[in-house]
Copies of this chain bind each other. A is one copy, B any other.
Amino acid sequence: MRRLVYSVAASLDGFIAGPKGEYDWIRRDSGIDFAALYRRFDTLLMGRRTYDVAKTNPGLLTSMGMKIVVVSTTLDPALHAGVIVVSRNLPEAVAALKAEPGKDIWLFGGSVLFRSLLDLGMVDEVSVSVFPVMLGAGVPLLPKGARAQLKLNESKALPSGVLMLSYSVVGTRPSG
C-alpha cells in the first residue's frame, strides 16, 4: 500500500507559516532537491484552504503533474476540472486512495487535515524541512490535540542550514 506523507517546511519552533501566512522564510536557495521530492509522489491530497492558496500561484499545481485531491464540503467539482473532490467519508476515501496502485501520496496541507488524518491513524510519514528560524507565532505544524510518537528514519543537514528530516508515525495517544 502506498504511503501517505505529510511533507512540509517548518521553523525550529514548529510553525509552517507565519502569523499572516508568511512563507518568505522558505528560502529558494535552501538547496532542497525539489525534483527528487516531486518524483516520489503522484498524488497531492489537501484541504480546501490549502487548495485556494495554491491556486493563487498560477501553474503551481498543474506544473507538479500530479493527481489533485481536495477535501471539501463546499467545492463544486463541476467548477474545478482536473480536481477530485472528497466531500464526505474521509477515512474511506483516503483508504481507497492509499489502496490504489501508484507512487506515494503527498499530504500537502493544511495542518488541520493532517491532524484529522493523524488521529485516524492514516498518516504513515512526517517529512519536515526545518529552516533555521524561529517564527515566534504562526500556523502550527500540528494543531492542538493528541500526542504522536515518531521514529526518525532520515536526517540530513544541507549547507544552507536546512534540516531534512523524515519520521514514521508510530502511534498516537491523548496527551495530558
CB within 8 Å of B: which residues of A?
Answer: 11-15, 18-20, 22, 25, 126, 128, 132-138, 140-152, 155, 157, 161-163, 165, 167, 175-176
Contact A150 B176 (CB under 8 A): no
Contact B18 A126 (CB under 8 A): no
Contact B176 A141 (CB under 8 A): no
Contact A167 B14 (CB under 8 A): no
Q: How far is the CB of A11 from chain B (nearest CB, A)?
A: 8
Contact B145 A137 (CB under 8 A): yes
Contacts of A138 in B (CB 8 A): 175
- Given A142-B13, A157-B152, A165-B163: A19 and B175 within 8 A (CB)? yes
Q: Is the interface of A mostly helix, strand, loop or mixed?
A: loop
Q: How far is the CB of A23 from chain B (nearest CB, A)?
A: 12
Apart from the given pairs A132-B167, A136-B148, A152-B162, 20 other A-B contacts in the complex at a CB distance below 8 Å:
A12-B128, A12-B165, A13-B140, A14-B14, A14-B140, A18-B175, A18-B176, A19-B176, A126-B134, A132-B149, A132-B150, A133-B147, A134-B141, A134-B150, A135-B147, A135-B175, A136-B144, A136-B147, A136-B175, A163-B165
In the complex, residue of chain B having the shortest beta-carbon distance to the beta carbon of A160? B152
Contact A136 B146 (CB under 8 A): yes
CA A147 – CA B25 in complex, angstroms?
10
Q: How far is the CB of A146 from chain B (nearest CB, A)?
A: 5
Contact A137 B18 (CB under 8 A): no
